[in-house]
Amino acid sequence: MRRLAAFDVETTGIDCQSDRIVTAAICLAGGDRPVESYSWLVDPGVEIPEGATAVHGITTEQARAEGRDPAEAIAEITAVLADQMGCGVPVIAFNARFDLTCLDREARRHGIRPLVDRVGGPENMIVVDPFVLDKQYDRFRRGKRTLGAVCEHYRVRLDAAHAAGADALAAARVAWRLGQTIAELRELDLRDLHGRQVLWAAEQAASLEEYFREQGRDEAIERAWPIIPAEIAALAA
């Protein structure tokens, strides 16, 4: 098994453009080397809604008392991921569009050079998203596609759902299981796989949007992956 950088964040809400990171984790595993785990508890600088606390367990009071300065934490997280990508290590993130866009917006919010710029542009990113891969290779399976549901389907251990470190490792395990199960994935070069996921994520978004239209729901589904470009967000705003 090659080296992987599993990444996950827990946030103040579900809007990757405006919500803030509360906890983050990066777990470096594989490659016949010891596991290295990094974790951050961040003071987001805003109130953490009760609904978000119910998911990840972090209150506003705890984040203010124990959390890191957001600018310092975001700079560290971004630097670790950029270093790994620079060494050819893929970043594994379940529903990467959310986690990596959150990180990108936090970096821009705090005047930090974002990940996409540090690696020399989107063409130099190496991301593996088990959410996109699962939908591509088992597209007609009924039921939820949450991390917990996908872990259950592939018989992957999820130690503590919605703890960033546990979710990050679970995503890496799902990615590994998919690679063991699907021969095509084992044969693809990582950069080729990244490029295909860009296309697959866009196709999946278009398919979901079409389904919503059939149900009378006028909702636009984001097609960009793994990071929603800041210029697209600005135009939408």
In a domain, 56, yes or no: yes
In a domain, 233, yes or no: no
In a domain, 202, yes or no: no
Instruction: Tell me which of 107 and 1 has the higher pLDDT.
Output: 107
How far apart (Å, rounded) are the C-alpha atoms in residues 223 and 76? 28
* pLDDT of the residue at 97: 98
In a domain, 181, yes or no: yes
User: Within 13 A of 222's CA, how many CA atoms are on the CB side?
Assistant: 18
Tokens of 127: 């991301």
* pLDDT of the residue at 82: 98
* pLDDT of the residue at 232: 62
The answer on pLDDT for 237 being more than 60 is: no
In a domain, 51, yes or no: yes
Q: Across residues 207-231, what is the average pLDDT?
A: 94
In a domain, 217, yes or no: no
62-117 confidence digits (pLDDT tens): 999 999 999 999 999 999 999 999 999 999 999 999 999 999 999 999 999 999 99
* pLDDT of the residue at 63: 98
**Which pLDDT band, with edges at 50, 70 and 90, does 2 fall under?**
confident
Write out the residue range of the structural domain in which residue 103 sits: 4-191
For residue 111, how many other CB atoms are within 10 A of its CB? 9
Sorted by sequence, the CB contacts under 8 Å of residue 161 that are 6+ apart come out as 147, 148, 167
* pLDDT of the residue at 231: 76
Supply the DSSP string of the chain, one letter for each residue: ---EEEEEEEESSS-TTT--EEEEEEEEE-TTS--EEEEEEB--SS---HHHHHHH---HHHHHHHPBPHHHHHHHHHHHHHHHHHTTPPEE-TTHHHHHHHHHHHHHHTT---HHHHTTSGGG--EE-HHHHHHHHSTT--S--SHHHHHHHTT---SSTT-HHHHHHHHHHHHHHHHHH-HHHHHS-HHHHHHHHHHHHHHHHHHHHHHHHHTT---------SS--HHHHHHH-
* pLDDT of the residue at 35: 87
How far apart (Å, rounded) are the C-alpha atoms in residues 125 and 195? 9
Structural domains of the chain, count: 1
In a domain, 153, yes or no: yes
133-170 confidence digits (pLDDT tens): 999 999 999 999 999 999 999 999 998 777 888 999 99
Average pLDDT of the residues of the chain: 94
**Which pLDDT band, with edges at 50, 70 and 90, does 32 fall under?**
confident
What is the CATH number for 28? 3.30.420.10
In a domain, 204, yes or no: no
